[in-house]
Structure 1
Amino acid sequence: MRVTELRTIHPATTALLIMDVEPSIVAQLPDADAFIGGLLRAREAARTAGLTVGYVRVALTADDVATVPASNLTFHAAAVTGRLLDGPDTEVDPRIAPGDDEIVVRKSRVGAFSTTDLGEQLAGRGVDTLVLCGIATSGVVLSTVRDAADHDFSIIVLEDGCFDRDPEVHRVLTEKVFPRQGEVVSIDDFIASLA
Structure 2
Amino acid sequence: MTMTVTPIAPERTALLLMDFQPAILAGIADTEKLLERARTALSWARSENVRVVYVRVAFASDDYSAVPTHNKAFTAVVENRFLPDGSPESEIHDSLDVREGDIVVRKTRFGAFSTTDLYASLRGEGIDTLVVAGISTGGVVLSTLRDAADEDYRLYVLADATADPDPEVHRVLTEKVFPHQADVIGTDDLWALSGRGPLV
Q: What's the CA shift for 1:169?
A: 1.0
What is the number of equivalent residue pairs in this alignment? 194
1:176 and 2:176 aligned: yes
Give 1:26's aligned amino acid. L
- How many angstroms apart in 2 are the aligned matches of 1:128 and 1:182? 13
- Where 2:99 maps in the other structure, the secondary structure is coil
Are the counterparts in 2 of residues 112 and 140 from structure 1 also a CA contact under 8 Å? yes
Q: Could you tell me how far apart the structure 2 residues matched to 1:7 and 1:138 are?
A: 27
State, as a whole percentage, how many aligned pairs show the same letter.
47
Distance in 1 of aligned mates of 2:191 and 2:26: 26
CA contact (8 A) 1:6 1:189 kept: no
Secondary structure of the residue that 1:56 maps to in structure 2?
Answer: strand
In structure 2, the residue matched to 1:23 is 22
Per-residue Cα deviation, 1:127-152 (whole angstroms, up to 9, x for no partner) = 00000000000000000000001111
The corresponding residue for 2:83 is 84
Q: Compute the RMSD of aligned alpha carbons.
A: 1.3
For the residues of structure 2 that align with 1:32 and 1:54, how far apart are their CA atoms?
Answer: 20
Does the CA contact (< 8 Å) of 1:6 and 1:190 recur in 2? no
Q: Aligned partner of 1:134: which letter?
A: G
70-79 or 57-66, which moves further after superposition? 70-79
Give structure 1 stretches of 5+ with no counterpart.
none
Q: Which runs of 4+ in 1 moved over 6 A?
A: none
1:105 aligned onto 2:108: no
Q: Which whole-Å CA distance do the structure 2 matches of 1:36 and 1:185 have between them?
A: 17
Instruction: Give the TM-score normalised by structure 2.
Output: 0.93
The answer to whether the 8 Å contact 2:108/2:115 transfers is yes
Change (3 A) 1:191 1:39: farther
- Tell whether 2:157 aligns with 1:154: no
* 1:5 Cα offset (Å): 4.3
Q: Is the 8 A contact 1:42 1:191 kept in 2?
A: no
Check 1:3–1:92 CA distance in 2 against 1; reply closer, same or farther (3 A cut). farther
Residue 39 of structure 2 aligns with which residue?
A: 40
Tell me the distance in 1 between the aligned counterparts of 2:83 and 2:177: 28
Amino acid at match of 1:21: F
Once structures 1 and 2 are overlaid, which stretch shifts more, 142-151 or 72-81? 72-81
Structure 2: tracts of 5 or more residues without a match: none
Instruction: Give 1:3 deviation, angstroms.
Output: 6.6
- Give deviations 1:134-193, integer Å, cap 9, x for gaps: 000000000000000111111100010100111111111111111100100011012343
Deviation at 1:95, TM superposition (A): 0.8
Q: Secondary structure at the match of 2:62?
A: helix
**What amino acid is the match of 1:108?**
T
Structure-2 separation of matches of 1:178 and 1:43: 22
Does the residue aligned with 1:85 lie in a helix, a strand or coil? coil
